[in-house]
């Protein structure tokens, strides 16, 4: 779904797919647009939007313009932050 959007970009973007109970996409939303080596993601914006939409789960996605498929240390840290933030809401 997001490969046509992110696949050939020369910069990083971070997108979220918000899903309902039936795992259907309620909305796709660009959280951030950054530079060649990174982009910033605010956990509060991500989760506020999920609550506003009544989403029951999230799919997180971003690209690496370099083509490197391995997550960076900052990617891992962000995943932990988002997972911890979502934990009490059940995402």
Q: For the chain, 91 residues long, give each residue's pLDDT as a single digit of tens.
A: 999 999 999 999 999 999 999 999 999 999 999 999 888 898 898 899 999 999 999 999 999 998 888 998 988 998 888 888 877 655 5
Euclidean distance between CA atoms 66 and 75, whole angstroms: 15
Euclidean distance between CA atoms 78 and 40, whole angstroms: 9
Given a contact cutoff of 8 angstroms between Cβ atoms, the answer to whether 55 and 18 are in contact is: yes
pTM listed for this prediction: 0.86
Residue ranges per structural domain of the chain: 3-87
User: Does 3-87 carry CATH code 3.40.140.10?
Assistant: yes
């Amino acid at each position: 779904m997001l490969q046509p959007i992110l696949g050939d970009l020369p910069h990083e973007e971070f997108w979220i797919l918000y899903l309902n109970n039936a795992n259907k996409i309620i909305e796709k939303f660009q959280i951030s647009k950054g530079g060649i080596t990174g982009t910033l993601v605010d956990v509060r914006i991500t989760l506020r939007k999920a609550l506003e939409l009544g989403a029951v789960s999230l799919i997180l996605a971003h690209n690496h313009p370099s083509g490197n498929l391995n997550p960076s240390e900052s990617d891992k840290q962000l995943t932990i932050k988002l997972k911890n933030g979502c934990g009490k809401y059940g995402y």
